[in-house]
């Protein structure tokens, strides 16, 4: 029995040192004042790319100030279901994707033209609800980033409106600006900059594995309840380019079926929020910690 005493004491000390945690507290609801329908222009030109910075350049484009929200995605599904662009099949929403070029490389999967799953509806982490042939956002999550969406579902949303997913270079330039900073807001990271693992934000739910998303644009310098945020926008004025949710990017690399994500999430450590960190998954992957935003030319 004695060997279990020390770990229990340590656990008690750790929980106490983190401050009081109400395991049954409801999720707070805040309006951040950041408009998820807003876009910013990114000028053509050079910028530092990657951890060991080298100069790259992009053409001019525009990018969404925030991630696509649950409400925005529900609106898309309502329109797309009405005009036949998506279908409801076996508790999943599927849509057409034209496929990738494939030359039979070993260990790579062919992504053929056809219907692919955009979102599952039967997963308890899904924040889009479907009732009476109508999609809506789960109460309290309207202005949270859309998650549990595959790469196909992110691609499909952007394509439906004539947009596209950002390339990795476009994403990093929009997040970093033209200097060598590791985070969108500068050189250092604190808990008040972003939603990451154990950042102790108001949405952290220690009773579950992982924490909850925060509303888009939450880290904008305002005080919400007793929680003071730091204004953590990128040099171009984008929010949540680090933390909260990973963001799908649009690159389809030759003879590779994997897709790449940027930005880190609520479930990763702060060093994973550095702007050059990449993550990847198959395009069918969905997660409570993965979302997206769009760009347009």
CA distance linking residue 265 with residue 243, whole number of Å: 4
Which DSSP state fits 89? E
CA distance linking residue 147 with residue 35, whole number of Å: 18
User: What Å distances lie between residue 128 and 151, 218, 232, CA to CA?
Assistant: 16, 21, 28
- Which residues in the chain show pLDDT less than 50? 1-23, 209
Mean pLDDT of the chain: 90
Annotate 201-232 with b (16+ C-beta within 10 A) or e (fewer).
Answer: bbbbeeeeeebbbbbbbbbbebebeebebbeb
Q: Is 244 left (phi over 0), alpha (psi -120 to 50) or beta?
A: left
User: What Å distances lie between residue 101 and 38, 108, 112, 113, 282, CA to CA?
Assistant: 34, 12, 8, 10, 16
The confidence score (pLDDT) of residue 15 equals 38
The confidence score (pLDDT) of residue 295 equals 98
- Tell which residue, 20, 27, 65, 36, has the closest CA to residue 225: 27
To the nearest 10°, report the CA torsion of 43, 47, 49, 52: -170
The confidence score (pLDDT) of residue 8 equals 38
- Which domains are present in the chain? 2-296 (3.90.1580.10)
Helix (H) or strand (E) holding 62, with range, is: strand 61-64
Name the phi and psi angles at 132, rounded to 5: 55, 45
Angle, helix 70-82 to helix 151-160, in steps of 10 degrees: 70
The answer to whether the beta carbons of residues 261 and 282 sit under 8 Å apart is no
The confidence score (pLDDT) of residue 53 equals 81
Sheet holding 61-64, edge to edge: 39-42, 61-64, 295-296
Whole-prediction pTM: 0.90
CA distance linking residue 129 with residue 122, whole number of Å: 9
For residue range 103-118, list pLDDT tens digits in order.
888 888 999 999 999 9
């Amino acid at each position: 029995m004695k060997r279990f005493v020390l770990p229990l004491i340590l656990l008690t000390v750790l929980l106490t040192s983190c401050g009081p945690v109400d395991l049954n507290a409801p999720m707070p609801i805040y309006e951040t004042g950041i408009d998820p329908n807003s876009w910013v222009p990114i000028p053509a030109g050079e910028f530092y790319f990657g951890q060991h910075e080298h100069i790259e350049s992009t053409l001019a484009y525009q990018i969404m100030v925030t991630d696509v929200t649950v409400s925005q995605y529900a609106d898309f599904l309502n329109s797309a279901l009405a005009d036949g662009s998506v279908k409801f099949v076996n508790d999943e929403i599927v849509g057409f994707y034209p496929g990738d070029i494939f030359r039979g490389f070993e260990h790579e999967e062919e992504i053929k033209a056809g219907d692919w799953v955009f979102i599952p509806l039967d997963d308890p982490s899904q924040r889009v609800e479907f009732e009476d042939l109508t999609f809506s956002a789960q109460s309290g999550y309207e202005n949270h980033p859309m998650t549990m969406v595959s790469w196909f579902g992110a691609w499909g949303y952007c394509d439906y409106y004539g947009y596209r997913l950002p390339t990795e270079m476009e994403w990093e330039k929009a997040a970093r600006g033209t200097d060598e900073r590791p985070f969108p807001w500068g050189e250092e990271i604190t808990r008040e900059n972003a939603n990451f693992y154990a950042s102790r934000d108001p949405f952290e739910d220690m009773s579950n594995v992982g924490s909850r998303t925060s509303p888009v644009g939450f880290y904008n310098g305002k005080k919400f309840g007793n929680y003071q945020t730091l204004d953590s926008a990128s040099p171009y004025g984008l929010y949540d380019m680090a933390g909260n949710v990973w963001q799908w990017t649009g690159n389809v690399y030759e003879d590779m079926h994997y897709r790449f994500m940027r930005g880190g999430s609520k479930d990763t450590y702060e060093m994973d929020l550095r702007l050059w960190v990449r993550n990847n998954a198959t395009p069918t992957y969905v997660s409570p910690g993965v979302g997206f935003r769009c760009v347009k030319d």
